[in-house]
A and B are shown apart, each in its own frame.
Chain A
Amino acid sequence: MALPSALPFRVARGSWQHWAGRIILFGGVGLFLLRASMQWNRSGQGLLTDALIVAIAVTGLNLITGYTGQLSLGHAAFFAIGAYVSAMLVTGKVTTPFFEENLWTPGWTLPVVAVCCFVVGAVVGIPALRLKGIYLALVTIVFVEAVRSILKYQELVNITGGSPGIKGLAYLPPSWTGLDGRADLNKWFLYLATFFLIVASLVSSGLLRSRIGRAMVATRDNETAAAVMGVNLAIIKTVVFGISAAIAGIAGSLYALKLTLVEPDIPKFGLLGSITLLVALVVGGAAQQWGPFVGAMFYVFVDDYARGVGEDPDGSWLIGWAVDSGTKINGLGGVTFGIMLILFARFVPFGAVGTMRMGRARIVQVVPQPPTSKGAAVADGEPTSVMSAGIDTLDTSIESEPTS
């Protein structure tokens, strides 16, 4: 490859420079996680695990909302269903032939979770064939609340536990891991969450490189055009919704097993949960492979910081200069986080990854390799120019038709 004469550098996809960049990126993140698992104490590992669990769910949401353009505020329901399926199987609430007294080993519930959530997700995807933007979003919100009502429903109390939910779940590290029982519990969940985030990311990127991936992006960019070009919208939307839901369900299952309980009123199982996922997606960068990871990290750690400001106002550099020692301010943590979100949206409008890519694109651009590449560039979500990095996937307006 010829040396570029001026900025931006152009790096061919698949060239050694491109691979070097990737290795540095993946290696850096890998080292960070490795270091966290070795050196961080349990509280740091716990918080990191919480962020990774959110990242898994956002990876699912990214498929349907980021790449396919279907705005879903329903993923908290898949999260809840995943959590409940695991909880019900682990505690023997449902009769199955596979385990003694129906008491499942937690790990074996995950495939069941994936299947259940795929089915429910595909069904939820059906309305998406007709509904767009905010209309779809609102229907999915009602779906979340409806699932909650059903989980509470008295007649189902033997299966779901009703309003009090199901308590006393435990998932201790199996002996083959070499981990030390309860003492390494947070490390165990950190490994689990890392593993499933990698799996979810591989599923996601594999999907995007396939024909389905190109159909998804085409659907997002212009449904009518995609249909004209032969994309089967019904299949794309329901299947991707299903896969997306299955990934969110896995995250919910890990969440419940780590928390040791499920309850219908857990905030993450309701609208707040959906909002958490959507905010993490947009903050990280919709339709960006690294968006879910970065967005979830941002959400969990910035929220943790914002609550810290509220816990100890005079001890924070943010507002400590303005308040007296010992002052308690109700709700300060929430106000701080809210303002941080506004500022983030204002100054990093394309999300962290999207904005970074745009910045990087001024210096280094990845371009398709001229001869053999099959144009996977777009499906990969790699913007080939500054303009396409800003692909807007959350256009909530129904009047987005290009004036012809």
Chain B
Amino acid sequence: MDFSLFVERFINGIADGSIYALLALALVVIFRSTGQLNFAQGEIGTMGAFFVSTLTLAGLPVVVAILLALVLGFAIGAGIERVVVRPIEERNPSAVIVAIIGVFLAINQLTALIWGIDARSLPSVFPNAADDFITVFGAPVRIARLGTIGVLIVVLVLLFLLFNKTKIGLGMRAVANNQESSNLVGIRVGMILLLGWGLSGSIAVLAASMLAPSAGLTGSLMLGPFLLASVAAVLGGLDSPVGAVVGGLIIGLVQAFLVGYAPSIGSVTLTSDMLYPVMLVILLGVLLFRPTGLFGSEKVERV
């Protein structure tokens, strides 16, 4: 087996996986505090990426544009929590899923309504010309891909610090554990939930801004990655940030190796076309032994 090809596929898989991992992190942040799966996550990201595009076309440096878009992502996420999710959750939590699907449809189409339907290119924060690569073990590795991996690491570290070293993070963990008790001990649960949704909106925008330069920016940018990110989050455990990252990287690698090596089982050749059947097997294999994912915490149910 050609080692440099392996290295190339491995790093590309990790880089793609980083995008899924970022999105999965955003899902986990919300799930921990509210138990909801935010179907609109990817669309917040797409909208943020279009906003980045508008700002860069207006002449802003791309880093500044992304920072501003993170603020927009935060606002959208927090807005959804405050305006849509909270009032409905108070009355019937099961109706929230319908509202979130409504938000998903509305944001997806609102992007087309505001920015039109023509594809755009988004500049990368990292050097991204054709020859911006380094050679590792004979394999060309693009700097922008390494940059994406770097962004994932930074976000993970920041989240770790936030959750474990700040009062807000303590509040978030408390709310994730038990909302009612948190309320009783004086934690401002509403504010914590708002922060969680906002934060995940920002992370989604970051993921989209990393993906768009190589993928091209259209309204359907995040539809596919969102689905894979959801799978990643479940694989790793919906309440575990580490699990989200591990799950995302696993999916990225599986995808890359299916494309690269197209393994055969009997007469069946598993190409990238068979990603979902393969994922189904992996997912079932993991979940049947650990029903809450690789790193998810299991809660005891009592009568």
Contacts and interface: CB of A to CB of B under 8 A. Distances in A.
The answer to A–B direct touch (Cβ < 8 A) is: yes
24 contacts: A132-B291, A137-B37, A142-B276, A146-B277, A152-B273, A153-B274, A224-B302, A225-B303, A228-B303, A278-B98, A331-B109, A332-B113, A334-B106, A334-B112, A337-B102, A338-B106, A338-B108, A341-B105, A344-B102, A345-B98, A349-B92, A350-B91, A396-B35, A403-B178
B163 to A, nearest CB: 18
A331 B113 contact: yes
A397 B35 contact: yes
B64 to A, nearest CB: 29
B287 A404 contact: no
Contacts of A225: 303
A350 B93 contact: no
Interface stretch (A27-35, A170-178, A236-244, A279-287): A279-287
A232 to B, nearest CB: 17
B227 A332 contact: no
A134 B37 contact: yes
A342 B292 contact: no
A185 B31 CA distance: 48
Give the one of B36, B113, B276, B293 with max A CB within 10 A.
Answer: B276
Interface in B88-109: 88, 91-99, 101-109
A390 interface: yes
A130 B231 CA distance: 17
Contacts of A390: 92
Given A345-B88, A396-B93, 16 more contacts: A142-B283, A146-B279, A149-B277, A278-B98, A283-B98, A286-B94, A335-B106, A338-B101, A338-B102, A338-B103, A338-B106, A345-B99, A395-B94, A396-B37, A397-B35, A403-B178
Contacts of B103: 338, 342
Contact of B291 (A135, A152, A399): A135
Contacts of B109: 330-335, 338
A329 interface: yes
B153 interface: no
Nearest to A330: B112
Nearest to A393: B94
B87 interface: yes
Nearest to B39: A275
Contacts of B36: 396
A24 B283 CA distance: 49
Interface majority SS on A: helix, strand, loop or mixed?
helix
A258 interface: no
A178 B85 CA distance: 52
B287 A145 contact: no
B174 interface: no
Contacts of A392: 92-94
B130 interface: no
B230 A345 contact: no
Interface in B108-124: 108-113, 116-117
Shortest 6 CB-CB contacts between residues of A and residues of B? A341-B102, A338-B106, A394-B94, A397-B35, A334-B109, A338-B105
B84 interface: yes
Given A331-B113, A342-B106, A138 B92 contact: no
A286 B93 CA distance: 13
